[in-house]
Amino acid sequence: QQQVKQSPQSLIVQKGGISIINCAYENTAFDYFPWYQQFPGKGPALLIAIRPDVSEKKEGRFTISFNKSAKQFSLHIMDSQPGDSATYFCAATRAGKSTFGDGTTLTVKP
């Protein structure tokens, strides 16, 4: 049973466009929802995170939208840049342990 479902698997966006990645979770006990960015040959690195008592969090061009009742959260990348091309993972965390989505490979075309 996959506890965190992520979509799409891959995404191609033109430079300056908006990239949207969606995740859905099942366990209502999760209490921390981070997004990680991974470049080839590197480990994932925290991009932005949200707690379930907040519906939206914005940091620069990156925004998390959180819908607790629907058990869904999404990452929006505004004004997408070629340097944003990477793999993005959503995660849901409880008691220190994180469950990850399968990842989205984002390609931003110049």
Partner 1 sequence: DAGITQSPRYKITETGRQVTLMCHQTWSHSYMFWYRQDLGHGLRLIYYSAAADITDKGEVPDGYVVSRSKTENFPLTLESATRSQTSVYFCASSELAGQSLSPVYNSPLHFGNGTRLTVT
Binding-site ranges for partner 1 (CB under 8 A):
6, 31-32, 34, 36, 41-46, 49, 51, 89, 93-103
Sequential DSSP letters for 34-102: EEEEE-TTS--EEEEEE-TT-SEEEETTEEEEEETTTTEEEEEESS--GGG-EEEEEEEEETTEEEE--
Identity at 66, one-letter amino acid code: F
Q: Which is nearer to partner 1, 17 or 100 (by Cβ)?
A: 100
Closest contact distance (angstroms) between CB of 42 and partner 1 is 6
Q: Which is nearer to partner 1, 17 or 93 (by Cβ)?
A: 93
Closest contact distance (angstroms) between CB of 14 and partner 1 is 26
For residue 29, what are its two tokens? 């006990």
SS3 13: strand
Q: Which is nearer to partner 1, 20 or 49 (by Cβ)?
A: 49
Closest contact distance (angstroms) between CB of 58 and partner 1 is 17
